[in-house]
Structure 1
Amino acid sequence: MRHGLLTSAILGLTLLAAGSAGAQTFDAAVKRGTLKVCIVETAPYALKTPRGHWIGHEIDVAKRLSSDFNLTPEFVPVTYEDMMSRLAEGDCDLIAASLAIEPDRLRQAWFTRPYGESEVSIVTAGTHKLADLDKAGTIIGAVAGTPAADLAKARLPLATIEIFPDLIAAERALESGAVMGLAYKAPMIVPALSRSASLWVPAVTMLTSLSP
């Protein structure tokens, strides 16, 4: 069963810092003629086609922003775990990703206004109540650097939260039975997991719904 944990805002990350640092970042992009955009390869936001072309919602946002300033977008693949450090190190001018607004991130960078929401849920291969998962010996998977990992730890303090480097590895663990459930953001997880005939993902049961 898919259990909803929380609804959180997602948005595009803009300049590196407030004030002069942000202005310097933009000035450098104008001089280069390119806008370096850090992206996380996650459906349906950013995907690379077999021919090597980037597509997805965040790609469209980055292309439109680049076009508005007569710049050429340059996409830099990163992970949720290292994207803020890559931004700070100057590997990109901005991040376009399904990125939740968090206090630590607000101290490091400017954000745009939120342009969407994502629901953090737990998907299991059978029918379970949320209370069934919060037990010693239960292993729940999550992807490194995602809000889902932190939420799972907070809402399931008795369970073991196993962190995986990416969604593909986490899916495999769920399919093999190595973890009882997988915490991740919907709707991305549903089409990804539906490829496996052995997994049953029924309707969402919301535990909490919060506005950003």
Structure 2
Amino acid sequence: MPLLKTVTFVHTLLAGHVVAGARVIDATMGNGHDTLQLARLVGDTGHVYAFDIQSEALAATAARLGCENLRARATLIQDSHARMLDYLSEPINAIVFNLGYLPGADKSCATQATSTLAAVRNALTLLAPGGLLLITIYWGHPAGASEKKVLEPFVAQLSPEQYRVLKYEFINRANPAPYLLAIERFTN
């Protein structure tokens, strides 16, 4: 099997983890690719909660879901991922962050270290035992470099009695190549 691009690897991990009936979050909706993948996986009895601050992201994602008649499986929320606790309190089976900026839109509107760290902290409080949290970091722009600087030390100090933390990255590509932090919660 060939090695996978980071986003493809994220979808592979999700497919092996998210089952019908799951409750999941796409913390950075973007153009809706992760939201769509999650909507496919949760089936008719599960649900996706997707966050983005840009109206263009919600429109693109709604259209993408609509093309596959999956719009009813997702709640699209125009708000910061850092405010997810304002909308959710139930245990969540999987949470995905694809950091950076909306492809094809204003690159100055990118995820930021402070709100992303707050969102990851909140995500961990929602993550159910056995849950999976995936964070793709694009650190080739200033905001992404700042996110890398705060997120890596934060996830590295997570309790090994509660979490498994993996870093999936290419080591033979010119940096700054995107990479994945994968966190699995295995206890209450």
TM-score, with length taken from structure 1: 0.29
Return the structure number with greater helix share. Answer: 2
Give TM-score scaled by structure 2 length. 0.32
Which structure's residues are more often strand, by fraction? 1
If asked which structure has higher relative contact order (CA below 8 Å, sep 6+), I would say: 1
